[in-house]
Structure 1
Amino acid sequence: MTPMDLDTLTAVTTGVALLTCVLAVAGLHVYGRGRAQRAELVERLSATGQVSGAGRRRRFRGLDRRLRRTKAGRKLELRLAATGLDVTPGEFTACMLATVAGLWLIGQATLAPFFGPLAGLLGVWAAWQFLSWQRQKRIEKFINQLPELARILANATHAGLALRTAVGMAAEELEAPAGEELAKVADQLAVGHSMDDALGELADRLPSRELVVLVTTLVLSNRAGGQVVGALRNLTETLEERKETRREVRTQLSQVNTTAYAVPVLGVGSLFLMNGVKDGALERMTGSPVGQGAVIIAFALYAVGFVLIRRMSRIDV
């Protein structure tokens, strides 16, 4: 290699190195500016109440992104939104898998290896039951706020305010979950959604007969331009009566609901009792196909009994 070629190679290498440094500095500048803009946006949205838990660090972001791309992940996200929990699909899935693994190991260690998978399935069922319980609890709390919501809307429309304005005012005055849900409706109306679509999505998130009646009343009154005040005041009285009726029915059925959960618990407790009386009895029993089939049939019968008791105690008011 001649000295001229060596000088040319040195110059090209130096130029490439300088260009790389310039691009790295520019990239770091753009990255820092993007982070600052994102932090400013998150702070502004958090101050206006449009982002929940904006200051909390999210975990399992990679798993969360993968889940949101799937149909099951999007359904899980909607289900979590209906519960009001500040949990992402990735966080819920990771916690559920950890619970399943823990129950699997506990069932395998304390009872017999055969009960490990059954305990894992029990963990999955318990996780979905927890979501259903949280969702139902939120719906019940929202239903209890419906009479007050109808009263606020009636007073606001009687004072001459538009229904859109009345919804925003009710969102500010009511506590969660009604306040949070109405704030979502007000945000949708602010960005151009129709009243029918915004209220329809509210009824889909928190399905109940009382909310469907309220939404139908508001939608029909908004379409026809009729008198909303009289309809809302009559609806307020009806909702108050239904609220008291639901409370009485729930009180009467509390013992039946407790029985539905007590029956499976007694069955699982009998397994621990059997294994405690004679150590290794469950392992010997599940060591044969006949014993495994008997255990599966027993668990299936407990599940059928639980479902039947729950259905018999379900009274639609």
Structure 2
Amino acid sequence: MNNLALLTIGVTLICCTLGVMGVHAYSSGKDQQAALVERLSQTGQIPVVGRRRRFRGVDRRVRRTKLGKKLELRIGATGLDITPGEFFIYMTATVVGLWLIGQAMLASFFGPICGLLGIYVAVAFLNWQRQKRIEKFINQLPDLSRILANATQAGLALRMALSMAADELEAPAGEELEKVANQLAVGHSIDDALGELADRLPSRELVVLVTTLVLSNKAGGTVVGSLRNLTETLEERKETRREVRTQLSQVSMTAYAVPVIGVGSLLLIDNMQPGALDKMTGSGIGQICVIVAFALYAVGFAIIRRFSKIDV
């Protein structure tokens, strides 16, 4: 009996050991495979394979339109891993969902209004992602300018300095500079590559940096002194932008609170007196009043947002 127990324990230990060894070998093999695929992808021996794209037929049709081309450029500026076709499908689903929710919670008249709100939400989401990416890039500009100054002072050419900055900086600066480095590698000029970068992420700080690099490259002079001064200026502008954003945060919240209060009051009225919204929107005068009220909310939102937008 004791021998049977010892045999069982021994077999169990051997199985556990073999299981641990198998998991370790599997994980090591996966890491080696990923490293090999990455190395071969960088050398161009195998194509780069990303995630599987959905709605390919819709994506091809959307890309053919003029609006689809603009949408593709806007999505590219956000850094999102999504195709125009996928965004169109998701936006359509959002519109339909908000339409049904508006009809169910408010009244049938509010369905189309909520559907239009879905389109605005989708476009606003892209603008928000794009602006957030631009803000992150602006915050990285002092480090970028410092790296370029150090690389130039060490005797590296501007092309090599941009490639080195692309390797050292994190996203989004690293990704954008990698695109610039790839364009330079296939024969694009520095003016064109940096100009496209400024078009993708428009900002005053980036325009100043690009102008400094382009003029210094054309003139053939050193850019170390200019980049050093630019680094200090960008640091000061970074702090100023942070202070301005903090001071105006309450105004920005007010812009979003005003329409939310309006929609909340409608829900409160319908909850206190069921069917009140159906009666209100059952006549032409009521519908006109609702449309005018929503238009005034939209105008108030735009005005408050304009007050809170200060270019530094």
Q: TM-score, normalised by structure 2?
A: 0.86
| Letter aligned with residue 246 of structure 1 | R
- What corresponds to 1:264 in structure 2? 259
The alpha-carbon deviation at position 217 of structure 1 amounts to 0.3
- What corresponds to 2:11 in structure 1? none
Structure 1 residues 49, 89: closer, same or farther in 2, change over 3 A? farther
* Misfit runs of 4+, over 4 Å: 43-46, 49-53
Total equivalences in the alignment:
275
**Does the 8 Å contact 2:78/2:133 carry over to 1?**
yes
1:1-317 pair list within 5 angstroms: 47-48=41-42, 54-317=49-312
Deviation string, structure 1 residues 135-192 (Cα, Å, up to 9, x no partner) = 1000000000000000000000000000000000000000000000000000000011
Q: Distance in 2 between matches of 1:291 and 1:229?
A: 67
Unaligned runs of 5+ in 1: 1-42
Q: Distance in 1 between matches of 2:141 and 2:38?
A: 30
| Letter aligned with residue 279 of structure 1 | P
Q: Distance in 2 between matches of 1:125 and 1:45?
A: 42
**Does the 8 Å contact 1:104/1:119 carry over to 2?**
yes
Q: Distance in 2 between matches of 1:155 and 1:149?
A: 10
Q: Distance in 2 between matches of 1:44 and 1:193?
A: 25
**Does the 8 Å contact 2:41/2:47 carry over to 1?**
no
Q: Distance in 1 between matches of 2:274 and 2:43?
A: 57
Q: Distance in 2 between matches of 1:60 and 1:112?
A: 33
Unaligned runs of 5+ in 2: 1-36
Residue 113 of structure 1 aligns to a residue whose secondary structure is coil
The alpha-carbon deviation at position 55 of structure 1 amounts to 3.0
Q: Distance in 2 between matches of 1:112 and 1:89?
A: 32
Q: Distance in 2 between matches of 1:204 and 1:229?
A: 25
For the aligned residue pairs, the C-alpha RMSD in angstroms reads 1.8
Q: Distance in 2 between matches of 1:49 and 1:179?
A: 19
**Does the 8 Å contact 2:252/2:305 carry over to 1?**
yes
Q: TM-score, normalised by structure 1?
A: 0.84
The alpha-carbon deviation at position 54 of structure 1 amounts to 3.4
- What corresponds to 1:17 in structure 2? none
Q: Distance in 2 between matches of 1:46 and 1:277?
A: 66
Percent identical residues: 75
Q: Distance in 2 between matches of 1:132 and 1:45?
A: 35
Structure 1 residues 196, 176: closer, same or farther in 2, change over 3 A? same
**Does the 8 Å contact 2:95/2:115 carry over to 1?**
yes
Deviation string, structure 1 residues 65-118 (Cα, Å, up to 9, x no partner) = 011111110110010011010000000000000000000001011111000000
Deviation string, structure 1 residues 9-51 (Cα, Å, up to 9, x no partner) = xxxxxxxxxxxxxxxxxxxxxxxxxxxxxxxxxx669943999
Q: Distance in 2 between matches of 1:46 and 1:57?
A: 20
